[in-house]
């Protein structure tokens, strides 16, 4: 996923965190805020030291989240900024489980549509 799809600046992170709606499942928390006039969605990721002390484990979780979002890119609308924050149980997930959890989270947040 290109860097233009990421929220990196602290003030943008805080704007979504404090101004957005939130939903959560067992492994992740999602904060979202609508942002009109964007070419594509933007996402910020956070995996704290409480989740995993080792940086390589935190980075693995972020890689799994980015890959899941890349695979769902066509379903996510362009006019939204969101944050995904990992919780402690996410350290035990593999790629398939991470994608399933991210898909569930995006459906809870009504970012992507439910398919029957």
The mean pLDDT of the chain is 91
Residue 113, in any domain of the structure: no
- The number of folded domains in the chain is 1
pLDDT at 84: 96
pLDDT at 20: 80
Mean pLDDT of 86-106: 95
Residue 115, in any domain of the structure: no
Q: Which range marks the domain in which residue 55 is found?
A: 3-108
Domain of residue 68, CATH code:
3.30.230.10
Mean pLDDT of 8-19: 89
Q: Which two tokens stand for residue 97?
A: 């489980």
pTM: 0.90
Angstrom distance (rounded) from CA 45 to CA 7: 8
> Alpha carbon of 45 to those of 19, 55, 57, 112, 116: distances in Å?
17, 14, 14, 18, 29
pLDDT in tens, 41-74: 999 999 999 999 999 999 999 999 999 999 999 9
pLDDT at 86: 96
Angstrom distance (rounded) from CA 113 to CA 74: 12
Residues 6+ apart with CB under 8 A from 92: none
């Amino acid at each position: 996923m290109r860097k233009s799809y990421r929220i990196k600046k602290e003030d943008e992170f805080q704007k979504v965190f404090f101004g957005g709606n939130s939903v959560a499942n067992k492994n992740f928390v999602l904060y979202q805020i609508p942002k009109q006039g964007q070419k594509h969605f933007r996402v910020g990721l956070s995996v704290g030291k409480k989740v995993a002390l080792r940086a390589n484990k935190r980075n693995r979780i972020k890689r799994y989240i980015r890959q899941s979002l890349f695979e769902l890119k066509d379903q996510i609308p362009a006019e939204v900024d969101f944050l995904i924050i990992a919780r402690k149980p996410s350290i035990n997930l593999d790629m398939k489980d991470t994608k399933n959890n991210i898909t569930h989270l995006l459906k809870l947040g009504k970012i992507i549509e439910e398919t029957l």
